[in-house]
Amino acid sequence: MGGGLIGCATAWRLAREGAKVTVLDSGDFGMGASGQNAGSLHFQLERRFLENGDALAEQATRTAALNRLAISDWSSLEADLATNLHITMNGGLMVAETAEECALLELKIARENAEGLRTRMIDGHEARQIAPYLSEAICAAGYSPDEGHADARLVTHAIAIAADKTGALLRPRCRVQSIRRVCREYVVRTAAEQFAASQILIACGAWTAHVAAMLNLHVPLFPVGLLMNATERVAQVVPHLVQHVGRRLSMKQTHSGNLLIGGGWPSRMALDAEGRFTLYRPPAVIEASLRGNLRVAIDVAPMVATINLVRSWTGITAISADQLPIVGEIPAMPGCWVAGGGSAFTLGPTFARLIAQSMSGTKCEELEIVAPSRFAHLNSFMGQ
């Protein structure tokens, strides 16, 4: 359930192994977060893990093993799919402007190196040698040679095509309306059809909690509205992924030449008639977010100042109660798998490969850190 990156990629992997798979999406495939995201392939520890205390940073560091797998999954994806997805892995810089930010970078890099990630600290001068578009105000950067970006417009679409060719049944515009567990099977209904499956995967992104509720389950994934900005196309100048350790920024240049500027700035989720968050209307742009986001971009790369903004869009992604992704089988519901939360573009192909492997019966230790079992207590009062 869910034809985003995770759903499609899992189907593709499973179908390649000979499983009989169906993917259902309420809309067109890849139109959720998978088609709205920034396309960053970031392997350095994310800024959001650094701004909420040591414990979280420590825990997040332990997901580094997943990042290592993601590097190799992205490196082989285009060859596996025999398509050009505009994947570039020319390196990424997480920049710092102040002494405190430099100190934070150092700590971060030490943690990453301990986990076997190839990041290194470079000074402002070296940063500008690698990336001449950076401002003089940049005093240091964490440099990861593996980082980069892929074209989020194309990835899920291409994987869906591959899944289809491999024999998976793809059903766009088929919203899952109910799920029942009957003996050892799950019966999934849409408006017009029903499907029986021995195993199901709920990969509905920000909608995951709604869909899990059909099984009387809690999955603590919360929708958050984010903002992205695209400029007009300009000559290629930014071959890297650029992030900031102390301020929210992700910046890259697409294959077509647009600069994409984001970095986790919030947008305002729409409310329904009852005053609850709704996922069915796009979040509104928060002016302060827009202005703040573009300011960081100019501070980091002054040349963006004169380029025209052509589009700001908002998208909804899912974040879990503890910020780490939730990926694995639900302990109380054998055969029911869930995957979502966090940076599941970067990690999506890896999650998909590991879930497919686990569903086929080979246990994956790498997924333990993100297993849903850590929230089992939420379902201890939920009757099956």
Partner 1 sequence: MTDHYDVAIVGGGPAGQAAALTLDDLKLKTVVIDEQPQAGGQILRQPPQSFRIPGWMEDRTYAPLVELLRRFEARTSIHWIGSHSVIGLRREPDGLFALTICSPDGLRSITAARVLIAAGCQDLAVPLPGWTLPGVYSAGGMQALLKAQRIVPGEQIVLAGTHPLQLLIAAQLVEAGGGVAAVLFSQPHGTMLKAGIRNSLRAFDRLSTAFPAVRALATLRKHGVKVLYNAPIQAICGTDRVAAVQHSGGEIACDAVGLCYGFVSQSSLPRMMSAKMRRAGPAGGWATLCDEWMQSSIQGLYVAGETTGVAGANAALASGNIAGFGIGAELGAISRDEAARRVARHRANRRSLLRFARLLDEIADPRPFFPALRDDTLVCRCEDVAFAQIGPVLDGRSANAVKLVTRCGMGLCQGRNCEPTLLRLLDNPNDPGFTARFPARPVPISDLAT
Partner 2 sequence: MMRLDHGIERGRRIQIILDGERVDVFEGETLAAAMIEQSSAFRRDSNGMARGMFCNMGTCGECTVTLLPGGQRVRACLVPAQVGMDVTRD
Ligand X SMILES: Cc1cc2nc3c(=O)[nH]c(=O)nc-3n(C[C@H](O)[C@H](O)[C@H](O)COP(=O)(O)OP(=O)(O)OC[C@H]3O[C@@H](n4cnc5c(N)ncnc54)[C@H](O)[C@@H]3O)c2cc1C
Residues 311 and 332: their CA atoms lie apart, in Å, by 44
Q: What's the CA gap between 367 and 167, in Å, rounded?
A: 27
Which residues 110-129 are close enough to bind partner 2 by CB under 8 A? none
Q: In whole angstroms, how close is the CB of 368 to partner 1 at the nearest point?
A: 35
**357: buried, middle or exposed (CB in 10 Å: 19+, 13-18, 0-12)?**
middle
65 and 365 Cβ atoms separated by less than 8 Å: no
User: Using CA atoms in the order 79, 42, 261, 296, what is the torsion angle rounded to 10 degrees?
Assistant: -160
Among partner 2, ligand X, partner 1, none, partner that 226 touches (CB below 5 to 8 angstroms by kind): ligand X
Binding residue for partner 2 (CB under 8 A) from 184, 274, 287, 306?
306
Minimum CB separation of residue 300 from partner 1 in Å reads 12
**Please, which residue, 47 or 153, has the CB nearer to partner 1?**
153
Single out the residue of 164, 170, 222, 246 nearest to residue 340, CA to CA.
222
Answer for which of 17, 51, 58, 232 binds partner 2 (CB under 8 A) is: 232
Using the minimum distance from each CB to partner 2, give the nearer residue, 306 or 384: 306
Residue 169 or 290: which CB sits closer to partner 1? 290
212 touches ligand X by CB under 6 A:
no
Ordered DSSP codes for 173-193 = T----EEEEETTEEEEE-SS-
Nearer to ligand X, 34 or 289 (CB): 34
Q: Which does 290 bind (CB under 5 to 8 A by kind): partner 1, ligand X, partner 2, none?
A: partner 1
Q: List interacting residues with partner 1 (CB under 8 A).
A: 27-31, 35, 153-154, 157, 172-173, 230-233, 256, 258, 261, 281-282, 284-285, 287-288, 290-292, 294-295, 297-298, 304-313
Report the alpha-carbon distance of residue 180 to residue 188 in Å, rounded. Answer: 7
Q: Total binding residues for partner 2 by CB under 8 A? A: 6
CB 164 to ligand X: min, Å? 16
Beta bridge pairs of residue 149: 40, 88
Q: Using N-to-C axis directions, what is the helix angle for 64-81 and 152-165, rounded to 10°?
A: 70
**Minimal distance in Å, beta carbon 276 to partner 1?**
18
Q: Is 319 in the site for ligand X (CB under 6 A)?
A: no
Shortest distance, position 313 Cβ to ligand X, whole Å: 8
The count of C-alpha atoms lying within 13 angstroms of the C-alpha of 33, restricted to the half-sphere facing its C-beta, is: 28
User: Of 102 and 251, which CB lies nearer to ligand X in the complex structure?
Assistant: 251
- Contact between 148 and ligand X by CB under 6 A: the answer reads no
Task: Enumerate residues 6+ apart whose C-beta is below 8 A from 86.
Answer: 149, 150, 151, 154, 254, 255
Instruction: Name the CA radius of gyration of the chain, rounded.
Output: 21
Residues that bind ligand X (CB under 6 A): 1-7, 24-27, 31-34, 36-40, 175-176, 203-207, 211, 226, 228, 250, 262, 315-317, 340, 343-346, 348
